Chain A
C-alpha cells in the first residue's frame, strides 16, 4: 500500500541525505528544478517496485516524477486496481 505520506517521507529522506533541507509542497518541482537527479529517480522507482508497482515503462519523462502529486498520479496510472490510497 503506497500513500502520499510514504512518498513524501521517502523523497524527504533523499533530499535530507543531500543536505537539501528546503521545504517542498506536493506540487513543487523536484526534478526539473534540479533537486533530484537521475540516481534519485532510480531510487524512487526501485522503492516503488519493491512495493509492487511495475515500472516497465516507455512513457517516462522528467515531468512524470517532478513532484509528489505527479508521482502519485503515475502510480495510480500503473496500478489503478491495487488499492492505492488517494489520501
Chain B
C-alpha cells in the first residue's frame, strides 16, 4: 500500500490517461500529461538522490504550475507547503525562514512575490519554468510513502504573532479521501470546482478527492470567485465546494434563481457558519444536488463533520444556522470539558476530534502540540477550541469559540496575532483587536484599538498591510485613552465591541443587516 497522495492520479494516468484531469488558464490537461509533468518535477527535485526528504514551498495559485508543484512534490516523497503569492514580502520571508524548504516552485504570481527579503530567504533550488524540467521517464512511479510520512504543512494564524505550521501526514489525506468517497461515490464523469486557495486546507478535498475518483478539477478564476454562477453553468460542474458567503452573495445579487445549476449533484459549504436561508436558496437553485454543511479544521485534515440539508432543516436555535452534523466515516468526535472529560448530549463544551485525519502537530512547537493534541487512554485527540453542543439526534451544533480565534471571510485569525503586530507598530502593549461586525458568526473584518498619540489610522493600516495578509488588516482603527480590562486583567473585548455599535451611518447598517450576509472578497 503506497500512501503517496500522487498515487491515485498516477493509477488513472496508467489506466485511462487521456481523461481530463485539470482545466485551468484555458488549458486542458489529461491525467497522462499531469502525471508526466509531476514525474518530471519529481526528477528535478531529486537531482541529488541522497537528499533527505524535506519541504517544497509552492508559491503559486490557480495555475498549472501550482497543481503540478503539489503532485510533483508528492511523487518525489517530499511534503508541500503552499504559500499565497499575495502575501506581503516580510511575511513571506518569515515563513520561508521557518520552513527552510529544499526547493521552491513558482508561477507568474509567485515570481512577482519573490523580492527583497523574501528573495533572500528563498532556497537555491527554484523552479520557474517547465522548460527547466528533465525529460519524462515513463518507467518512474510515485515514491513509496508510509502512513506517517509528511504530506504537507499549512500555516494558520498563531496567537503570539508567528504563524503556526500544521504538519499533516499522508495517512490523513488517505483517510479523508476514503471517507469522502464512501459518502459521495464520485466517479470519472464528475467535474469538481476549486474555489479555495491552495493555502487554505479546503483545497485538500478539491484536489485529492477529485483525482482519486479520476474526475476533472476546474479552478475558478480569481475574477469570478465572488460570483461564480456563470462558471458553474459553463463548466457544467457536478461538485461545488466553497465558503457559504458565495451562496449568500449570489442570492442577494439575484443570481441564484431556481434551477440555475442543473448540473450540480454535490454541494459542500465549509469554512464559515451556514445560514439556513442561503442553504435553502442554493438547494432551489441546484435541485439535483445534495447540499452539505461540513465543519472542518486545518489540524484535522480539511473536513470533520457533515450535516446534509434536510426538509425541514436541522437548525441551530437562535442562530439561524444549519447544524454541523456528525463525524465523517473513520472519525470520532466528542464534547470535552476543561479537563478533557467527555460531556453528554445537551451540555456545551469543546469539540474534540480523533482518528486518522488528525495532524501530527505544530511545526517545531512541542509545547503547543502537547496542549492541543492530548493523548487520552492511548488515543490522540485534537482540541478544536470550538464551542459545541450535541442534540438529541446526535448532531453537533457550533455555538462559537472558547478562545480568541475569529473567522474573517472564512480565514482563521488569532486576535493575539493581530495584537502582536499592532504592538510592534505602536511600540506598546496597550493595543487590542476584535472581530467586527459579526453576522451569523462570521466577521466582516477586524477593528483595532490603541492608545498612541500622533499615529493615524491610515499609517497603522498601511504598516499592517506590509506585515499580514489583507484580511488581517484592521478595517477600523480607534484611539482610546486606555484599553479596557476585565477583573482578571484581560482585554475586555465585549466593552470594545460595544464601543463599535451602532454603525456610524444608519443607512449603511440598515443595508448591511438587510443583506444579512458575511462578506466575500478576492482572497
Contacts and interface: CB of A to CB of B under 8 A. Distances in A.
B230 A59 contact: yes
B482 to A, nearest CB: 21
Given A39-B519, A42-B253, A17 B508 contact: yes
B191 interface: no
Interface stretch (B31-39, B323-331, B510-518): B510-518
Given A19-B477, A21-B458, A32-B223, A42 B515 contact: yes
Contacts of B252: 42
Contacts of B224: 61-62
Contacts of B255: 57-58, 60
Contacts of B132: none
B315 interface: no
A38 interface: yes
B249 A38 contact: yes
Contacts of A41: 226, 253
B161 to A, nearest CB: 22
B498 interface: no
B87 interface: no
A56 interface: yes
Nearest to B475: A18
B283 to A, nearest CB: 20
Nearest to A14: B508
Contacts of A82: none
B521 A58 contact: no
Contacts of B476: 18-19
B339 interface: no
Given A22-B458, A60-B255, A39 B522 contact: no
Nearest to A40: B519
B173 to A, nearest CB: 31
Interface string B410-454: 000000000000000000000000000000000011000000000
Interface string A13-54: 110011111100000000110100111111101100000000
A48 B249 CA distance: 17
A65 to B, nearest CB: 9
Contacts of B519: 37-40
B60 to A, nearest CB: 19
A38 B223 contact: no
B225 interface: yes
A30 B227 CA distance: 16
Interface string A48-87: 0000000111111111000000000000000000000000
Contact of A58 (B229, B245, B444): B229
Contacts of B409: 37
A61 B457 CA distance: 31
A61 B444 CA distance: 21
Contacts of A31: 226, 521-522
Contacts of A17: 503-505, 508
Interface of A: 13-14, 17-22, 31-32, 34, 37-43, 45-46, 55-63
14 contacts: A14-B508, A17-B503, A19-B476, A31-B521, A37-B409, A37-B520, A37-B521, A38-B521, A39-B512, A42-B253, A43-B515, A58-B229, A61-B223, A62-B223
What are the 6 tightest A-B residue pairs by CB atom distance, in nearest-first order? A38-B520, A37-B519, A37-B521, A39-B519, A19-B457, A38-B249
Given A19-B475, A57-B254, 7 more contacts: A31-B521, A42-B511, A43-B511, A43-B515, A46-B511, A58-B255, A62-B226
